[in-house]
């Protein structure tokens, strides 16, 4: 069957959409639009803030503090390709910056500087804002307009051209004479007196080229502004980074080749022959990054690597919201200046006393590494899943262990001697430990000022997972040990490791994570053998009842004999010994548990064994001990396995596959690994 491209296009493409996006009209048509929808005359900060808010928010509580998640940062444009995870508090600070600027509270005169270590999503945040603006300008909620000069006769005022677009795609209302602006704005805003939304403001004059053309037409028509406007055509403006409309990007180059005209434009020497002078604004290319980014956003990559001359341009562009093109007067701009930089460059700025003016005009937003395990995992699950690598199974906990090691390298050593880095990591991830509540965890976060600004970046983890996939792809399953090997072997060649001590610390963290994985895989096998969660719940209820009776010096009623009896000390110790609680510490442990349960009750919450990681572990180990005799794990690695034992092994393996996400290969590996530990005589303990 032949493919009809015309029929295909007709069915899937509507020319009316093109016409809607490329609307043109007179100045009067535009004024009518402004009266109906004043938001089309918003400034760049207002537009970006509204764009972020248009995608909605959700709220959650972390350490007794309300945190807002802006769905814009889930990257709704490319199915989460640039989604930002784990730094919601910092993104809140950035959105608050835009909100303050949108309301005109002063931050619109500042440079927004994203500061953080390499690979911490600074560029992703910038990309999202630029992508979002492109998309938002194509939506009815985000539409904006500019103008062009039209003269069908090819007037000399336009240099013999019939069309002269506004080189900085400016707001058409800037063409209104200064004498009438105040009255016009008052009239427009009066209509919105009791409505939500920003008030219309008209700031600055048009660029030098359009100012020259406007003045020449005013002379031609004897000051009749209405006749001049016959030469103005208003059109819809679609922001586009590729077309250099409203979105600019500047990247520092070799200092010897840097030229500030890259920011503010330069003379077009070919047009001097047409206009006769290099001081004629029509012979000037207003195509610097500041010019073309007008009405939108300009991104400065590694901003603090800029030459000092460039930084001076930033001062006026931020505080005065104007730029100084060569040979022309100050020119008003309406844009967001977004820069990002890493730690060494920022320290250099702080120590440079000549840069005080820039520091004073900068709002710094930290973009640190993630320090919450479940959020770090989301980065790698986005890249490595069934859709991206359909032919290779990723064993359970593989990405989690890589994430755990990355976060371990980013955490500072706890100041409390009874707390390890691994325990701190688990607390940050929402787990509970005896003696630690939300207030304690909040304090832990506060005391570590540099946490998340150093350590291993997600890029290194992604590189090593990719290496492991390439090396072991033929196996069909990627397990944590394969990734551990890659992570460790790459450390000695890592360009960002500066000292032997740092290398030793990273290796030590990897050893801790390896041990944690061993405990986790043992735990999976235990659960597969003693899979009944209701049995754990019953065991927990029995233990809590006994602890309550013990701590309150009460008796407990035997549910079988209905007699009041003393708390069962032997039963309680059989659980507590599983997590190495000595006899001398049993009273403390029991009191802490009851205090925790009491605190939950005050907050209207019910205790669940999963809320206390140590108790949860102890209960599982107790249940496992009670049931493990039904299967001899050590027989797995022997050459002779009787039929009955083999059947039980297959049941456990099928549970690992069905309930825990293992495949046939990694389930077998997990059983063999745990069996080898048993064969060495190791006990399964936390």
pLDDT per residue over 280-319, tens digit each?
Answer: 999 999 999 999 999 999 999 988 877 777 777 888 889 8
> Long-range contact list for 553-556, CB < 8 A, 24+ apart?
none
Q: Are residues 178 and 314 in the same domain?
A: yes
Q: Are residues 313 and 238 in the same domain?
A: yes
Specify if 16 maps to a domain: no
Q: Which residues pair with 442 in a beta bridge?
A: none
Q: Does residue 648 carry a pLDDT above 80? A: no
Specify if 652 maps to a domain: no
Q: Considering 497, 528, 559, which residue would you say is the last residue of a domain? A: 528
Q: Does residue 362 carry a pLDDT above 80? A: yes
Q: Are residues 382 and 423 in the same domain?
A: yes
Specify if 413 maps to a domain: yes
Specify if 656 maps to a domain: no
Helix (H) or strand (E) holding 340, with range, is strand 336-341
Q: What are the distances in angstroms from CA 349 to CA 257, 271, 304, 336, 360?
A: 22, 41, 7, 21, 11
Is the dihedral angle over the CA atoms 304, 307, 312, 314 positive or is it negative?
negative
Would you give the DSSP letter of residue 69?
A: E
In the block, tokens 């509507």 appear at 14
Is the dihedral angle over the CA atoms 508, 509, 515, 518 positive or is it negative?
negative
Given this model, what pLDDT does residue 685 score? 42
Given this model, what pLDDT does residue 131 score? 95
The whole-angstrom separation of Cα 543 and Cα 615 is 10
Given this model, what pLDDT does residue 278 score? 84
Phi, psi of 253, deg, nearest 5: -120, -165
- Give the pLDDT band of residue 80 (cuts 50, 70, 90): confident
pLDDT, mean of residues 404-422: 91
In the block, tokens 């180059």 appear at 253
End-to-end CA gap in the chain: 66
Q: Are residues 189 and 300 in the same domain?
A: yes
Q: Which residues pair with 365 in a beta bridge?
A: 114
Q: Which residues pair with 284 in a beta bridge?
A: 267
Q: Does residue 15 carry a pLDDT above 90? A: no
Question: Could you write out the three-class secondary structure of 221-253?
Answer: CCCCHHHHHHHEEEEEECCECCCCECEEEECCC
CB 267 within 8 A of CB 326: yes
Given this model, what pLDDT does residue 65 score? 83
The whole-angstrom separation of Cα 436 and Cα 601 is 17
Q: Are residues 265 and 357 in the same domain?
A: yes
CB 468 within 8 A of CB 625: no
Q: Are residues 363 and 386 in the same domain?
A: no
pLDDT, mean of residues 124-144: 95
Specify if 684 maps to a domain: no
Q: Are residues 114 and 161 in the same domain?
A: yes
Given this model, what pLDDT does residue 684 score? 42
One-character DSSP codes across 353-380: GGGHHHHHTEEEEE------HHHHHHHH
Q: Does residue 101 carry a pLDDT above 90? A: yes
Q: Does residue 598 carry a pLDDT above 60? A: yes
Specify if 361 maps to a domain: yes
Q: Which residues pair with 364 in a beta bridge?
A: 113
pLDDT, mean of residues 41-62: 94
Q: Are residues 248 and 396 in the same domain?
A: no
CB 71 within 8 A of CB 327: no
Q: Which residues pair with 322 in a beta bridge?
A: 332
Q: Are residues 362 and 378 in the same domain?
A: no
CB 569 within 8 A of CB 666: no
CB 275 within 8 A of CB 284: no
pLDDT per residue over 241-290, tens digit each?
Answer: 999 999 999 987 766 666 778 889 999 888 888 888 888 999 999 999 99
- Give the pLDDT band of residue 682 (cuts 50, 70, 90): very low
The alpha-helical segments, DSSP class H, found in 431-532 are: 438-447, 458-472, 480-491, 500-529
The whole-angstrom separation of Cα 388 and Cα 404 is 22
Q: Considering 345, 368, 391, which residue would you say is the last residue of a domain? A: 368
CB 373 within 8 A of CB 425: yes
Q: Are residues 394 and 340 in the same domain?
A: no
Specify if 667 maps to a domain: no
Given this model, what pLDDT does residue 195 score? 62
pLDDT, mean of residues 333-342: 93
Q: Which residues pair with 645 in a beta bridge?
A: none
Classify strands 111-115 and 336-341 as parallel, antiparallel or unpaired.
parallel
Q: Considering 368, 384, 408, which residue would you say is the last residue of a domain? A: 368
Name the domain count of the chain.
Answer: 3
Q: Does residue 628 carry a pLDDT above 70? A: no
The whole-angstrom separation of Cα 416 and Cα 435 is 12
One-character DSSP codes across 148-164: EEE-TT--GGGTT-SEE
Q: How many CA atoms lie within 13 A of 577 on its CB side?
A: 10
pLDDT per residue over 169-228, tens digit each?
Answer: 999 999 999 999 999 999 998 876 656 678 899 999 999 999 999 999 999 999 999 999
Q: Does residue 636 carry a pLDDT above 70? A: no
Residue 65's CATH number: 3.40.50.300
Please give the residue range of the domain that contains residue 612: 530-628
- Give the pLDDT band of residue 537 (cuts 50, 70, 90): confident
- Give the pLDDT band of residue 531 (cuts 50, 70, 90): low
Contacting residues for 599 by C-beta, under 8 A, at least 6 apart: 437
Given this model, what pLDDT does residue 258 score? 66
- Give the pLDDT band of residue 441 (cuts 50, 70, 90): confident
Given this model, what pLDDT does residue 683 score? 45
Given this model, what pLDDT does residue 165 score? 95
The whole-angstrom separation of Cα 607 and Cα 600 is 7
**Cα–chain center distance at 271:** 46
Question: Could you write out the three-class secondary structure of 102-135?
Answer: HCCCCHHHCEEEEECCCCCCHHHHHHHHHHHHHH
Scored b (16 or more CB within 10 A) or e, 214-244 reads bebbeeeeeeebeebbebbbbbbbbbbbeee
10 Å Cβ neighbour count for 130?
A: 22
Q: Which residues pair with 564 in a beta bridge?
A: 557
Q: Does residue 401 carry a pLDDT above 90? A: yes
Q: Are residues 451 and 383 in the same domain?
A: yes
Q: Are residues 165 and 286 in the same domain?
A: yes
Q: Tell which wins on pLDDT, 443 or 197.
A: 443
Q: What token pair was written down for 381?
A: 């699950």
Q: What are the distances in angstroms from CA 593 to CA 243, 437, 546, 578, 610?
A: 63, 12, 12, 16, 13
Most confident of 174-188, 350-364, 446-460: 174-188
Q: Tell which wins on pLDDT, 235 or 638.
A: 235
The whole-angstrom separation of Cα 608 and Cα 593 is 12
Report pTM: 0.83
Specify if 573 maps to a domain: yes
pLDDT, mean of residues 331-348: 90
The alpha-helical segments, DSSP class H, found in 256-397 are: 261-264, 269-275, 289-292, 308-315, 343-351, 356-360, 373-383
CB 509 within 8 A of CB 461: no
Given this model, what pLDDT does residue 55 score? 95
Q: Does residue 364 carry a pLDDT above 80? A: yes
In the block, tokens 């679609």 appear at 238
- The three-class DSSP label of residue 284 is strand
The whole-angstrom separation of Cα 21 and Cα 27 is 18
């Amino acid at each position: 069957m032949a493919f009809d491209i015309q029929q295909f296009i007709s069915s899937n493409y509507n020319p009316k959409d093109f016409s809607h996006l490329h609307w043109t009209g007179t100045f009067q048509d535009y004024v009518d639009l402004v009266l109906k929808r004043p938001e089309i005359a918003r400034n760049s900060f207002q537009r970006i803030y509204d764009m972020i808010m248009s995608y909605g928010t959700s709220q959650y509580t972390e350490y007794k503090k309300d945190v807002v998640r802006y769905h814009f940062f889930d990257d709704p444009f490319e199915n989460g390709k640039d989604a930002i995870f784990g730094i919601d508090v910092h993104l809140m600070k950035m959105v608050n910056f835009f909100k303050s600027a949108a309301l005109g509270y002063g931050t619109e005169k500042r440079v927004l500087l994203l500061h953080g270590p390499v690979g911490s999503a600074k560029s992703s945040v910038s990309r999202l804002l630029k992508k979002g603006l492109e998309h938002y300008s194509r939506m009815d909620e985000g539409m904006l307009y500019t103008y062009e000069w039209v003269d069908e006769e090819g007037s000399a005022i336009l240099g013999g051209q019939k069309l002269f677009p506004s080189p900085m795609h400016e707001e058409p209302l800037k063409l209104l004479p200064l004498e009438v602006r105040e009255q016009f704005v008052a009239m427009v805003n009066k209509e919105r007196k009791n409505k939500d939304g920003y008030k219309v403001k008209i700031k600055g004059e048009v660029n030098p080229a359009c100012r020259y053309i406007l003045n020449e037409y005013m002379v031609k028509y004897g000051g009749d502004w209405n006749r001049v406007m016959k030469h103005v055509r208003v059109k819809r403006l679609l922001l586009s980074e590729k077309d250099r409309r409203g979105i600019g990007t500047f990247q520092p180059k070799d200092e010897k080749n840097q030229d500030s005209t890259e920011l503010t434009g330069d003379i077009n020497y070919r047009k001097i022959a047409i206009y006769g002078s290099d001081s004629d604004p029509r012979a000037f290319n207003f195509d610097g990054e500041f010019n073309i980014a007008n009405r939108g956003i300009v991104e400065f990559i590694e901003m603090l690597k800029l030459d000092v001359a460039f930084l001076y341009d930033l001062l006026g562009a931020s505080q005065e919201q104007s730029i100084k093109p060569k040979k022309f007067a100050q020119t008003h701009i309406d844009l967001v200046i977004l820069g990002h930089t890493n730690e060494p460059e920022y320290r250099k700025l702080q120590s440079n006393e000549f840069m005080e003016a820039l520091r004073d005009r900068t709002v710094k937003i930290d973009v640190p590494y993630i320090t919450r395990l479940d959020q770090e995992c989301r980065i790698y699950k986005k890249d490595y899943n069934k859709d991206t690598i359909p032919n290779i199974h990723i064993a359970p906990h593989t990405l989690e262990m890589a994430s755990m090691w990355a976060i371990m390298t980013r955490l500072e050593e706890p100041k409390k001697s009874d707390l390890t880095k691994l325990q701190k990591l688990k607390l940050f991830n929402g787990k509970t430990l005896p003696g630690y509540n939300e207030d304690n965890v909040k304090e832990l976060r506060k005391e570590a000022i540099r946490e998340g600004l150093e350590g291993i970046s997600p890029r290194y983890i992604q590189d090593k997972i990719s290496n492991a996939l390439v090396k072991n792809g033929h196996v069909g399953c990627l397990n944590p040990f394969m990734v551990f090997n890659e992570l460790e072997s790459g450390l000695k060649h890592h360009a960002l490791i500066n000292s032997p001590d740092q290398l030793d610390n990273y290796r030590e963290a990897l050893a801790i994570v390896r041990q944690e994985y061993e405990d986790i895989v043992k735990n999976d096998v235990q659960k597969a053998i003693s899979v009944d969660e209701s049995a754990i719940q019953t065991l927990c209820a029995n233990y809590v009842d006994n602890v309550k009776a013990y701590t309150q010096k009460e008796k407990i009623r035997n549910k079988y004999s209905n007699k009041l009896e003393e708390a069962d000390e032997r039963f309680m110790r059989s659980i507590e010994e599983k997590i190495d609680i000595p006899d001398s510490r049993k009273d403390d442990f029991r009191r802490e548990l009851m205090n925790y349960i009491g605190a939950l009750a005050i907050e209207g919450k019910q205790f669940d064994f999963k809320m206390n990681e140590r108790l949860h572990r102890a209960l599982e180990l107790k249940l496992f001990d009670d049931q493990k005799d039904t299967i001899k794990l050590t027989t797995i690695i022997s050459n002779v396995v009787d039929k009955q034992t083999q059947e039980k092994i297959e049941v456990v393996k099928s549970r690992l596959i069905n309930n825990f996400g293992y495949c046939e290969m990694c389930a077998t590996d997990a059983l063999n690994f745990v069996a080898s530990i048993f064969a060495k005589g190791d006990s399964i303990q936390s």
